[in-house]
Structure 1
């Protein structure tokens, strides 16, 4: 009888623990069909969002403290392949609470949090800023990431790699951001020091109701001394409860060069439901510094689960 009572107590305690924990499987299936200038019609994965499969969970530790984990991999819908690392997009564990969020492992950088926040074309493969000559580090291995809670619309984050995990000859990435979002206004500044390159991003948006205005500016300077300045402007225009049109123009130029690269893009998205969207659009390029042009026309489907 005593053993039975103990067993029941163990089962009850286990049930309580399970009730305080949650694990979910999620993902995005996104594929488009289109044509890039100079090539035949093709299908490609990830027009608006990278196709992915992920696992995430959270455990309530009490007192407002939670333990969290997330594993996420990219999937190519054209052939079903994954990237070179099983969980190249994310693989981390951490804690969150009133102090904010801390993550350890592979995760998005603080600059990535804000990089495409004000990008036209739904920050997709159709976006005009595909002509930008300067890039950034979107995710990093062995990273410590911390994000503050939002206070009066303000929030911030910082991420850095641990020196002992950076291989000899490689560059350590450290980045940070400061964001503001309140009502129709959103703005952000982000900074990255990737060793070989330092970059600063400024962007913002203003929702007028009839349209949301978008703008961003990104400047980088490499160890070799090359400075690249890029910008884009655009607008997201709702044409109904389910249809949104996005237009944008982008330009990029290396300091000292006489020519620049530019592009104009138009994209439309139609929501069939909260999880499924159809999209289409084109991007017309004028690459005078780094040709040839890669004009694109495409249509696709995006489904979140």
Structure 2
């Protein structure tokens, strides 16, 4: 019956492809937090209070080793097909599921990586379904580590947690939760892609429906449905690729929170620019990114409301071909700014959170489809930033006295694509 079903699908399509990646690694993570207090605290008015009996608690390291997946390329299993409709038109589908080959806990239970159907021709392509967002594509395209493993672009790590939905859907077992944010992938989208024959120019636009009920008049909105616009996404990406040069500009706006009765709408707006140039002996990568988490007030609060929060970052990277292998390295940095304003002339505001990351790795291609790889990375946090390379979070206690400092990690693995 299975063979007949496959044969039936194949006969109705010009092409049907089964594809995937199986990637497994031995990975280790270590994150250290320290007590940086010296007995001095500040009261609500900003005046220092000294405790001469304070005993520093030192540092605490949390670490873990594991057999992980997706450290070089994300493990996946997918099906894609195209039907030639004649006259230059083609209909296509793409169903791609994340898999966890380290323990088998997730397989083709959800096509959370991509699930689209499209129509293409001389006009370009119109694509419907769940797909990668334009702004994320710049992170992935201009990161030597492809946003996978301990070497992942720190900008991607920071922005992925910058705008989670206010009321995320609950996870179901180990199945990928598509209701936490739409930073990497957006659901319920309509996308348009420019034709491929524009002399190197490419681009796309995307709109994602929030799929929430809307009531008229608005005052009829039930209290449990007052987040009527949460989940909406609008974005676009345009670039130029010709020979060794590739450069792209992207913008995206995600509505991550909405409260009709309070009269507030929270959005995360992201703007980034990425580029790469292949000199032959080396290929250089670079990216600049800025994200803003802002609240739009229907009625501006008397004290001005919460300030916008900014997250800026940059990345510099390089790849160097060496025989059958490839050396990869990158340096990325982020800065988090809450735009706080001192309440008094003597109040001391906390310094802006900062972090940087250095990663280096090597990929050895045994064939076109199979590779061995090794990556090491280190994150240095400042002023309370708490980013890790993966694995366990930083230690803290009820007194909140420990400050995140460094996080290091490694991946040693094998990847096979088919």
For the 8 Å contact 1:71–1:92, the answer to whether it is kept is yes
1:84/1:290 CA distance change after superposition, 3 Å: farther
Alignment of 1:143-292 (within 5 A): 143-150=189-196, 151-164=198-211, 169=227, 170-195=230-255, 196-224=267-295, 225-240=308-323, 242-255=324-337, 257-288=351-382, 289-291=384-386, 292=404
Aligned to 2:159: 134
Corresponding residue SS for 1:199: strand
Counterpart pick for 2:97 among 73, 76, 80: 73
Aligned-residue RMSD, C-alpha: 2.3
Q: Is the 8 A contact 2:353 2:385 kept in 1?
A: no
Whole-Å separation in 2 of the counterparts to 1:85 and 1:197: 30
Q: Tell me, which stretches of 5 or more residues in structure 1 are unaligned?
A: 1-13
Out of 133-142 and 219-228, give the one that drifted further.
133-142
- CA distance in structure 1 between the aligned counterparts of 2:80 and 2:226, rounded to whole angstroms: 32
State the Cα distance separating 1:126 from its structure 2 match: 2.9
**Quick check: 1:21 aligned with 2:14?**
yes
User: Conserved in 1, the CA contact under 8 Å of 2:145 and 2:153?
Assistant: no
1:113 counterpart residue number = 137
Choose 196-205 or 293-302, whichever is displaced more.
293-302
Q: Which has the larger radius of gyration?
A: 2
> After alignment, is 249-258 or 263-272 more displaced?
249-258
167-176 vs 202-211, greater mean Cα deviation: 167-176
Contact 1:120 1:233 in 2 (8 A): no
On the 8 A contact 2:284/2:319 being kept in 1, the answer is yes
Moved more, 66-75 or 38-47: 38-47
- Greater RCO between the two (CA within 8 Å, min separation 6)? 2
From the superposition, tell whether residues 266 and 22 of structure 1 become closer, same or farther in structure 2 (CA, over 3 Å).
Answer: same
Residue 83 and residue 18 in structure 1: after superposition, are their counterparts in 2 closer, same or farther (change >3 A)? closer
Which residue is 2:179 aligned to?
none
CA offset digits 1:186-212 (Å, max 9, x no partner): 101111100220001111011111100
CA distance in 2, matches of 1:184, 1:24: 30
Select the structure that is richer in strand.
Answer: 1
For residue 35 of structure 1, what is the aligned residue in structure 2? 28
Conservation of the 8 A alpha-carbon contact between 2:149 and 2:411: no
Q: Measured at CA, do residues 113 and 296 of structure 1 come closer, stay the same or move farther in structure 2, by a change above 3 Å?
A: same
SS at match of 1:116: helix
Instruction: Report the Cα offset of residue 152 of structure 1.
Output: 1.1
Unaligned runs of 5+ in 2: 1-6, 31-61, 161-181, 214-224, 256-266, 296-307, 340-350, 387-403
C-alpha separation in 2, matches of 1:230 and 1:113 = 16
Aligned residues: 290
- The answer on whether the counterparts of 2:329 and 2:359 sit within 8 Å (CA) in structure 1 is yes
8 Å contact kept, 1:128–1:248? no
Distance 2:29 2:252 in 1: 31
Separation in 2, partners of 1:223, 1:84: 37
> Residues 253-294 of structure 1, C-alpha deviation per residue, up to 9 Å, x if partnerless?
013544410111001101111111111010011012323333
Cα distance per residue 1:5-35 (max 9 Å; x no partner): xxxxxxxxx99x9386211111110111121
| Distance in 2, Cα, partners of 1:149 & 1:111 | 20
Deviation of residue 181 (structure 1)? Answer: 0.5
TM-score if structure 2 supplies the norm length? 0.65
1:6: which partner in 2? Answer: none
